[in-house]
Amino acid sequence: MTIYKKQALLITLCTLGFTLFSLIFFFRFFQFYTIKGESMSPSLHNERTYLMERGPLQPNRGDIIIFNDKEAQIAYVKRVIALQGEQIQIKNGNVFINGEKLYEPYRATDEQIDFGPFQVPKNHVFVLGDNRSKSTDSRQFGPISLQQIRGKIVGYE
């Protein structure tokens, strides 16, 4: 085998190895997820596919997370609104965290709902859909355990 063929073979093997490593890395830490429903509209759209960063993770307020219900049968996609130890209250559709009004430019509706006050337990988060009138969220099923979180949506507009 000539030196040029050896170099070409080495370059090909390195390229294939790097590609394989990159794919394994990507699919270990990321997954594609298709949204079902309108509860996260207008931020996320029904039947569109988004990139999910796999957990475990410590979510921040504003993160859009994917989590399983307590029976691990249904996956939900919602926005983290309140973190452990915080008090949440909704008055006339406005969300208050520890008495401070939360700025929510992503909210789809101005539905005049009331909720709480509610103290988020340790190792839990409180989630809401952006389209509150079409969302089943922590107002109905309570706070989400950090262990239920599968990941968070990244790279959406």
- For residues 71-93, give the mean pLDDT: 90
| φ and ψ of 114, to 5 deg | -125, 145
- CA 75 to centroid of chain Cα atoms: 11
- For residues 5-31, give the mean pLDDT: 79
Q: What is the pLDDT of residues 22-61, one digit of tens each?
A: 777 766 777 888 889 889 888 888 888 888 888 767 899 9
In this prediction, residue 63 carries a pLDDT of 94
What value does the mean pLDDT of the chain take? 87
- Distance in angstroms (rounded) separating the CA atoms of residues 35 and 42: 12
Q: Which residues have a catalytic role annotated?
A: 39, 78
What's 35-154's CATH class?
Answer: mainly beta
Residue 74 pLDDT exceeds 90:
no
Q: pLDDT-based confidence at 85, cuts 50/70/90?
A: very high
In this prediction, residue 116 carries a pLDDT of 84
- Residue boundaries of the structural domains of the chain: 1-30, 35-154
Q: What is the pLDDT of residues 98-115, one digit of tens each?
A: 999 999 988 887 778 889
Point out the least confidently predicted range of 69-73, 97-101, 130-134. Answer: 69-73
Residue 69 pLDDT exceeds 70:
yes
Neighbouring CB atoms inside 10 A of 31's CB total 15
Percent share of the chain, pLDDT over 70? 96
Residue 10 pLDDT exceeds 90:
no
